[in-house]
Amino acid sequence: MTVCLCTSGRAADIAYPRPGQPDRTIVSSAEENLRVIFPRIYDCDACLIRCEGETLLLDCGDEKQTRAIMDMLEEENVWSIDHIIITHPHHDHIGALRDICEEYEVGNIWISFPEYTNAYMQTIASVARQYAVPICHYADEDIWMIGNAMLQVYIKSEATQNVNNRSGLFRLSFGECVMTFASDLELQGLLDTASKVPAEKLKTDILKYPHHGKDPMPGAYYEQADPGLIIVTAYYTGRKGEKNIAVHHWPVLYTYDGVWSCETDGVNWQITDLRKNKSRES
């Protein structure tokens, strides 16, 4: 089911399912399109980014939800992954890494924290050695190209901040369309990002909400981001962040409710629940 949120002044239309609305297709599926797929997970992060035959996995979820991530990769006929980026070393972002490296050919694992940070970083290093996957290090404002899509990271908090606040903001752009992944940024991380990243780089069509919807976003950040759609890697439990979403009337999807494919031709977005084969546009 589809509802259209064609907001004046927004760079792109986003189509996504809502009860009682007719389905509508505005993006024709093609290999040269950018697709971002979120598996059916909760309270952890993982998503597949693919464009023009190239693949990138942003985080690896929780170990208990490995099967959901593997199912998503199999459904997408992905058997090799060019890059895995770990936003930060916590259990809910690295849990499926070992199984993925065992089952799939992985080009590189990207990290931004030193191995001595915590036990999770040591696990990442151990997995990389076991499966002979090169480890690469990224830093503030580094860029990856996935086909013609560009992913750029902003890490603006000081090293004295906690791991979540140093997890970074990832901006994915393709043509006129932008999706932003706010990792597990907390209040200080979002404030640092809002004050140090140019406003035009914060504006986004779709926002992967920070830290599974646990806390509200500060106005200094969300007023510049101005998202047309929010994706929360959780299910609704009435957390403070989820209530904040409702107060602002932001359109929202929860990853526990479906396997969400976000596809763009660089002009519009088409959001589809791959489990139900239903489309969402805006």
- CATH level 3 topology of 14-275: Metallo-beta-lactamase; Chain A (3.60.15)
Backbone angles phi, psi at 94, to 5 degrees: -125, 0
DSSP letter assigned to residue 112: -
Query: What pLDDT is attached to residue 15?
Result: 73
Query: What pLDDT is attached to residue 27?
Result: 82
Query: What pLDDT is attached to residue 14?
Result: 76
Judge contact between 113 and 163, C-beta under 8 A.
yes
Backbone angles phi, psi at 55, to 5 degrees: -135, 145
Judge contact between 80 and 105, C-beta under 8 A.
yes
**207: closest CA among 226, 187, 234, 184?**
226
Query: What pLDDT is attached to residue 23?
Result: 62
Per-residue confidence in pLDDT tens, the chain, 282 aa: 232 333 333 445 777 666 556 566 678 777 899 999 999 999 999 999 999 999 999 999 999 999 999 999 999 999 999 999 999 999 999 999 999 999 999 999 999 999 999 999 999 999 999 999 999 999 999 999 999 999 999 999 999 999 999 999 999 999 999 999 999 999 999 999 999 999 999 999 999 999 999 999 999 999 999 999 999 999 999 999 999 999 999 999 999 999 999 999 999 999 999 987 644 444
40-49 b/e with 16+ CB inside 10 Å = b?
Answer: bbbbbbbbbb
The total of other beta-carbon atoms located within 10 Å of residue 7's CB is 15
What is the domain partition of the chain in residue ranges?
Answer: 14-275
